[in-house]
Amino acid sequence: MIDLHTHTIFSDGELIPAELVRRAAAMGYRAIALTDHMDQSNIDLIIPRIVKAVEAIRGHVPVTVLPGAEITHVPPGLIADMVKEARRLGAKIVVVHGETVVEPVAEGTNRAAIEAGADILAHPGLISPEDLHFARERGITLEITARKGHSLSNGYVAKQAVAFGVPLTIDTDSHSPSDLITKDFARTVLLSAGLEEGALQAAFRTAEELVEKALRR
């Protein structure tokens, strides 16, 4: 399992980084990104601490751990600067909290995330055809999520991403130990979203490619 969207106590997660990584490793994870919620108020506090935690455990755990960020509920006009700042501070995976159907995310967030070159647009809800075209052009990955609530639009996202040729990946958006999943369950979530075998395997490959790209940064 490769999971590039998780949370620790540095935002609203339940676990410190070391425990989250340990629990993920015990479930057979190959790679995990620590992507806590952030905006202008805390980005300079969280990313350096996540980077420090990742550097400390590197070589001591059987899983690749990536420092990251989830830009969350930031006004669309400020997202590009936030993505740049996250990368400058050491985030290897940058996720933007997309226009999920269960939260009042500002309209235009999906487009701003794509324009900013985020790695993953999380739970993008009823993403428009225009933004799907743009995501394909920019090579932005859309997320199929295992998280309750956000997963309500998985079927729409999967269908539209396949139709428009947009890369997909699957993440948990974990906030607690019980949110972590096995690769077999990830497969079940992807099948439940309507993906056929070829697209399902492509989603797993996309996760691997995102990790490889992050490690080269």
The pLDDT tens digits of the residues spanning 173-198 come to 999 999 999 999 999 999 999 999 99
Q: What is the CATH number of the domain that holds 76?
A: 3.20.20.140
Q: Nearest CA to 109 among 145, 148, 139, 135?
A: 135
Q: What percent of the chain has pLDDT above 70?
A: 100
Instruction: State mean pLDDT over 125-151.
Output: 98
The pTM score is 0.97
pLDDT of residue 185: 98
Give the domain extent around 160.
2-216
pLDDT of residue 19: 98
Count: domains in the chain: 1
Instruction: State mean pLDDT over 86-99.
Output: 98
